[in-house]
Every structure is written in structure tokens, then in C-alpha cells.
Amino acid sequence: MSGRDAVSGRDAVSGSSSATSGGDANRGTHAALHTRHQAVLPDWLAVYYQRPIEITHGEGRHVWDAEGNRYLDFFGGILTTMTAHALPEVTKAISEQAGRILHTSTLYLDRPMVDLAERVATLSGIPDARVFFTTSGTEANDTALLLATTYRRSNQILAMRNSYHGRSFSAVGITGNRGWSPTSLSPLQTLYVHGGVRTRGPFAGLSDGEFIKACVADLEDVLGQAHGNVAALIAEPVQGVGGFTSPPDGLFAAFREVLDRHGILWITDEVQTGWGRTGDHFWGWQAHDRSGPPDILTFAKGIGNGMSIGGVVARAEVMNCLGANSISTFGGSPITMAAGLANLTHLVEHDLQGNARRVGGLLIERLRAACAGLDTVREVRGRGLMIGIELVEPGTGAPYPEGASAVLEAAREGGLLIGKGGGHNSSVLRIAPPLSLTVAEAEEGAEILEAALKTTRSGRSVS
């Protein structure tokens, strides 16, 4: 071999990585699979890159594609590979459970489900908590809506502008992000309130304290237009698909004072913010915690580290309000619960929340320095390992989705996978690596991303 590893794409002499060098014998693999994909899957199924890639395996914070290219993963399968690719503890737990039994359903006692439920109930901060497991964040939010509307005998829901809560019919009905809301039909009456986006909109120029007061006044005004009871407010502490935007700490505590006067439940959607990703807190709601824990908490993604786990935590009074029988065929399956328990144990024992705070803090400052002189970058924001870079057209300040797509492509060419989102324009680069990211990997990724950002300004290549 002549100094370059055809499998990893890493230069054996210099140690530099490349996403364009390996697997000559397999060229055309991606194109052929993409053709088959287009023939049998929906047109609306989003796929990244002009030449989509197939990821075949991973280890730690790296993945490889079917053509042999190696990438540093800064998106983790949409914030889902929370600890690391091929984490030995999770792999072992899955293998051992698969050797015993794969599936039973909730009609039978399930020891791994009870074990994980006990851990999640304790960590949630919700008193007298009950846990119901689902297979996705969408299903978790769907369940939370069922609980809230039943408990409150109302189909009116408060949601945040620019929000995203999933793909089901009911979840789409409370999604305030136009780009991910394909229909206006809904079983719910949704009332949207301000507060999810700090630096855009009519309150952007206010101080944090004034911003919170204005959003509370808006909430009061919206409630004045509601018909009788409102069931719940559902909110992401940090909006994920919306571009990693967040309100000032304390906004939801201020909202809670209003909600409590009206008996309205608070649902915190922790599908992307849970398990310590923000660094400062284990849950996103804890940045607003003078009001105490939420009534309902939903989770998914990272807890399974790639296995399909979602769930709902609520105090017993709320969780037990349903009057009909129910089961879950796949929620809480022995194999996913074993994986989740092993993953959560690893995360807590290795203080990955603390690592997210330390390495994430270094990464965001490194990215802010890299973007300081770029007229296409409006803002670098985030906390922990949940970072967004908002791109704009120079001179106009308008959202710049073409620029975001170009940076996404250039980063992949450099050996880095990132995501994008933000409003309906997808002008925000989303950076969310596994929580075990090292300082060296953070620097490597920042260097690749800096180069990618400098390649495109107003759609023109720059030197």
C-alpha cells in the first residue's frame, strides 16, 4: 500500500484524513443504490448530499461508507448515536439479550423494561413517575398528547413557533416549522406562542428579561382567545430541527406560572436535549427549573444509541388517566431495553454530560473564532454538544439555504458529517457529535468545517 489506507481514507504517513480517497474498486456503489432507492421509496423522504452515501459501519466518533471513505461524525444519525458507534457495552447487551429472547410484548413482565423504567423515572425529576416506552420520539409525543388531552378533556394545545415534534398526524398538527408540516389538517386545535427563537422576530432586540416578559404577555393574550380549557403547552427546551435555537433560561419557568393558574400541563420534549447533551443539565427543562419539573417529559433518540427507543414520563395521576386498555407490541422490547440500560449506565459512569460541557464549550468557542470574519455567518449558538451555525446571504441577512447545502457538501468532501435545519429554509448547520467526543476530534472537525465555510460565499467559490 502506497501510504494511503484504502479502507479508512487516512494517510499512513501524515495521519491526515480524507473522504475522497478510498475504495476505488467500489466506485458506483452509492449511485446504484440511490437509483434503487428512488424507484421504491417516497420522493419526500429526505436524503443528504447531491450524491447520497451509504454508511456501512462505525467505531467511536467515526463512520465509513460503502466506498471505503472515513468520516468524523458530527451528527450521530440525527443526535441518536449518543455515546459512541459500536460501543462495546451496548453491543454486548444486545448480543446477550438476542441469545435469550428478542421479543415478548408488554403483555408479559419484562425485566429489562422495568430496570430501565426505574432508572429513567428517578432521573426524570418527576415525583411518583410512571414510564411508558415507545419506539420513537414521534410516538412518544403522540402519547403525551393523548395523555394531556384526556386528562384535561380538551383538544387545545399550546406549541412554540418554529417547533418540530415528529411525523405522525397529531405531531405534525403541533409542529410550527413549515418545512416539516405537510398538512394543515389536525385532530388538535393548536395555538402558537412566541419564545423559541431568541434572535429573530419582533422581540429579538429586547434584553433577556424584556424578552421573557413580552413572551409571557403573548402567552396571556393567546390564552384569552382560547375556548375554555387548554390541555397543555408542549415545547423543546432547545429547538432541534428549528436550528438549535433556544429562549433565555427561565422562560418556561415564567410560562409555568401562567400555566399553573389555568391548570394547563407542561410537556417538555427532550427527544434531542435529553441525557446531558446540553452539558449544563441532564434535561433541557432544568435550565428553567425554578418552576419545578414538568408534568410530562418525552424522550427518544440518544437513549438507545441507535436502537429504537422512545418514551413518556409523567406523574401517576396523569399517566393513569386513560380509561381504555392499551399495550405496546414493540415499545419496551427486551432487546432495546437491554441496549438502553447499558448505554445509560455507560453515559452516567463516564460522566459524558461533563464531557459535553467541557469539549462542547471548547468547540463552540473554536467555531465562533473561525466564523468571526465570515459575512455568511450570522450566529454561532448552542450549548454543550448541540451547536448551530446560522448562514445568511451577505448584505441582505436573508436565510441562505444554498450556502448551507454547499457547506454540507464541502464538509463531507473534507471528511466530516454534519446536519442542517432552521425554520423552513434549512439555513442552519447542526453540529451534534457523540457525547464522548475528544478535544482532538473537536479540533479536527472544527478545522474541516472552517475550510468548508470558506469555500462558499453567496454561492461563489473563494480562495
Among 350, 331, 345, CA closest to 303: 345
Instruction: Count CB atoms within 10 A of the CB of residue 393.
Output: 19
With a cut of 80, say whether residue 456 has pLDDT above it. no
Assess contact for 91 and 305: CB atoms under 8 A.
no
The partner residues of 197 in beta bridges, in order of sequence, read none
Question: Domains in the chain, please, with CATH?
Answer: 24-87+354-461 (3.90.1150.10), 88-349 (3.40.640.10)
Residue 271's pLDDT band, with cuts at 50, 70 and 90, is: very high
In this prediction, residues 221-238 reach a mean pLDDT of 95
Assess contact for 308 and 86: CB atoms under 8 A.
no
Distances (CA, A) of 91 to 101, 115, 344, 445: 15, 18, 13, 26
Q: At residue 395, what is the residue type?
A: G
Spell out the residues 6+ positions from residue 153 whose beta carbon is closer than 8 angstroms to its own. Answer: 229
Torsion of CA 7, 13, 17, 19, to 10 degrees: -50
Helices (H), 263-351: 316-319, 334-349
Helices (H), 22-132: 29-40, 76-79, 88-100, 111-124
What are the tens digits of pLDDT across the range 132-190? 999 999 999 999 999 999 999 999 999 999 888 888 888 888 887 877 778 777 889 99
pLDDT at residue number 455: 85
Long-range own/partner contacts, residues 44-50 (CB < 8 A, 24 or more apart): 44/182, 48/408, 48/419, 49/408, 49/409, 49/412, 50/409
With a cut of 60, say whether residue 14 has pLDDT above it. no
With a cut of 60, say whether residue 106 has pLDDT above it. yes
Among 416, 448, 412, CA closest to 432: 416
What percent of the chain clears pLDDT 90, i.e. is strictly above it? 83
The partner residues of 399 in beta bridges, in order of sequence, read 392
What are the tens digits of pLDDT across the range 330-370? 999 999 999 999 999 999 999 999 999 999 999 999 999 99
Among 119, 114, 165, CA closest to 143: 165
In this prediction, residues 357-385 reach a mean pLDDT of 97
* C-alpha to C-alpha distance for 263 and 283, rounded to whole angstroms: 23
pLDDT at residue number 277: 98
What are the tens digits of pLDDT across the range 115-129? 999 999 999 999 999
* C-alpha to C-alpha distance for 420 and 241, rounded to whole angstroms: 8
Beta-strand runs (E) in 254-332? 265-269, 296-299, 310-315
Of 96-105, 356-365, 424-433, 442-451, minimum mean pLDDT range? 424-433
pLDDT at residue number 28: 65
pLDDT at residue number 205: 96
With a cut of 50, say whether residue 463 has pLDDT above it. no
pLDDT at residue number 370: 96
Among 96, 68, 91, CA closest to 81: 91
419-421/70-73 β-pairing: unpaired
With a cut of 90, say whether residue 253 has pLDDT above it. yes
With a cut of 90, say whether residue 27 has pLDDT above it. no
* C-alpha to C-alpha distance for 266 and 450, rounded to whole angstroms: 39
Among 457, 461, 463, CA closest to 403: 457
With a cut of 70, say whether residue 39 has pLDDT above it. yes
Q: b/e string for 279-313 if b means 16 or more Cβ within 10 A?
A: bbbbbbbbbbbebebbbbbbbbbbbbbbbbbbbbb
Helices (H), 316-414: 316-319, 334-349, 352-371, 401-414
Task: Tell me, rounded to whole angstroms, the distance of Cα 367 from its chain centroid.
Answer: 20
29: cell is 456503489
* C-alpha to C-alpha distance for 18 and 406, rounded to whole angstroms: 18
Assess contact for 281 and 242: CB atoms under 8 A.
no
More confident residue, 47 or 25: 47
pLDDT at residue number 457: 61
Assess contact for 265 and 235: CB atoms under 8 A.
no
How far apart are the two ends of the chain, measured CA to CA in Å?
Answer: 33
Among 75, 43, 87, CA closest to 301: 75
Helices (H), 1-87: 29-40, 76-79
With a cut of 50, say whether residue 24 has pLDDT above it. no
The partner residues of 71 in beta bridges, in order of sequence, read 63
pLDDT at residue number 460: 46
pLDDT at residue number 149: 97
The pair phi, psi for residue 40, each rounded to 5°, is: -125, -10
Instruction: Count CB atoms within 10 A of the CB of residue 2.
Output: 6
Distances (CA, A) of 346 to 76, 82, 305, 436: 17, 11, 11, 10
With a cut of 50, say whether residue 100 has pLDDT above it. yes
In this prediction, residues 29-47 reach a mean pLDDT of 95
